[in-house]
């Protein structure tokens, strides 16, 4: 199972849309077996996949009450099916904020590696694990990044995007002590065709030194409509421009991950 995190220190830049679209396309269009992890207490991806419950079990139990930390849950107990045959999910809700605090206050050996341990249990059952992260590098997201091999970092041009990417790169560099092979790859989202946007894109691709997806994701109101409808974008609008772009990104991703 290849674990991919979608993370950026900025909010509202398309992390969840990216995560949901890639998970949906890998599963329902490419026939891969996909496990989605909701790493954001807002539970947005849980909502998209129709399993959000404010008091339900999921990621909090995975991190706090799993057998690997002396609890009673196995990973399989926390995995929920979705309406999509190739996609399962471990959902999240507001309790995940408490989980972050609880992990911070405890000091146990596997504080940041328990997610990695818990996921090993289902490693043969899935081809891909796609993790939607919140924008804070909290204990939940650190656990995800320690388990992951690739971080997809959405970049939206509109100010401070370079700083955000550099911050993320620095944070990830610190985590490489524990997860040396963790790679980061940036993805332009909500791209508009104005001069500034195109200049930043060009700089990112040619001079920044950041690894980038070749395909930028264009901006379209259809993405917002799919979020409001709580339906994965590629299902909501199979042929729309944003779905077309994500489809190209998925092809790039498959080529990179599977050669």
Q: Does 44 bind Mg ion (CB under 5 A)?
A: yes
State the nearest-atom distance from the C-beta of 87 to ligand ADP, in Å: 17
Residues pairing with 36 in the sheet: 89, 130
Of the candidates 170, 243, 177, which has an alpha carbon nearest to the alpha carbon of residue 210?
A: 170
Rounded CA gap, 48 and 52, in Å? Answer: 8
Residue 34 burial class via C-beta count within 10 angstroms: exposed 0-12, middle 13-18, buried 19 and up: buried
Is residue 167 within 8 A of residue 179, CB to CB? The reply is no
Q: Does 235 bind Mg ion (CB under 5 A)?
A: no
Of the candidates 166, 178, 109, which has an alpha carbon nearest to the alpha carbon of residue 142?
A: 178
| CB nearer to ligand ADP: pick between 33 and 219 | 219
Q: Does 229 bind ligand ADP (CB under 6 A)?
A: no
Q: State the CB neighbour count (10 A cutoff) for residue 47.
A: 17
State the nearest-atom distance from the C-beta of 107 to Mg ion, in Å: 29
Q: Does 237 bind ligand ADP (CB under 6 A)?
A: no
Q: Which does 223 bind (CB under 5 to 8 A by kind): ligand ADP, Mg ion, none?
A: ligand ADP
Q: Does 10 bind Mg ion (CB under 5 A)?
A: no
Taking CB under 6 A as the criterion, the residue among 3, 5, 9, 14 binding ligand ADP is 14
Q: Does 143 bind ligand ADP (CB under 6 A)?
A: no
Q: Does 17 bind ligand ADP (CB under 6 A)?
A: yes
Taking CB under 6 A as the criterion, the residue among 116, 219, 235, 247 binding ligand ADP is 219
Residues 178-217 that bind ligand ADP (CB under 6 A): 189-190, 217
Candidates 16-24, 59-67, 108-116, 146-154 — which segment interacts with Mg ion by CB under 5 A? 16-24
Query: Count of residues for the chain?
Result: 259
Angle, helices 15-24 vs 241-258, to 10°: value is 70
Which stretches of the chain are assigned E, i.e. beta strand?
A: 2-6, 34-39, 80-81, 87-90, 128-133, 150-155, 183-188
What does the binding site for Mg ion look like in residue numbers (CB under 5 A)? Answer: 15-16, 44
Which residues of this protein are in contact with ligand ADP, per CB under 6 A? Answer: 11-17, 44, 189-190, 217, 219-220, 223-224, 227, 242
């Amino acid at each position: 199972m290849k674990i991919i995190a979608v993370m950026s220190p900025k909010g509202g830049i398309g992390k969840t849309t990216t995560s949901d679209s890639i998970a949906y396309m890998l599963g329902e269009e490419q026939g891969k077996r996909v496990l989605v992890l909701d790493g954001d207490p807002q539970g947005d991806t849980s909502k998209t996949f129709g399993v959000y419950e404010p008091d339900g079990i999921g990621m909090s139990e995975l991190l706090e009450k799993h057998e690997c930390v002396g609890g009673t849950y196995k990973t399989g107990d926390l995995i929920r099916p979705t309406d999509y045959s190739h996609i399962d999910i471990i959902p999240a809700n507001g309790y995940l904020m408490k989980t972050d605090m609880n992990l911070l206050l405890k000091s146990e050996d596997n504080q940041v590696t328990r997610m990695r341990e818990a996921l090993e249990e289902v490693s043969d059952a899935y081809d891909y694990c796609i993790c939607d992260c919140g924008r804070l590098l909290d204990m939940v997201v650190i656990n995800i990044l320690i388990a992951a091999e690739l971080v997809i970092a959405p970049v939206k041009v509109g100010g401070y995007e370079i700083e955000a990417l550099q911050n993320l790169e620095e944070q990830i560099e610190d985590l490489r002590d524990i997860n040396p092979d963790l790679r980061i790859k940036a993805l332009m989202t909500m791209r508009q065709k104005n001069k500034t946007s195109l200049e930043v894109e060009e700089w990112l691709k040619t001079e920044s030194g950041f690894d980038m997806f070749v395909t930028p994701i264009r901006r379209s109101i259809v993405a917002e409509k799919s979020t409001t409808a709580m339906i994965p974008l590629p299902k909501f609008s199979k042929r729309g421009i944003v779905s077309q772009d994500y489809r190209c990104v998925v092809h790039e991703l498959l080529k990179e991950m599977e050669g």
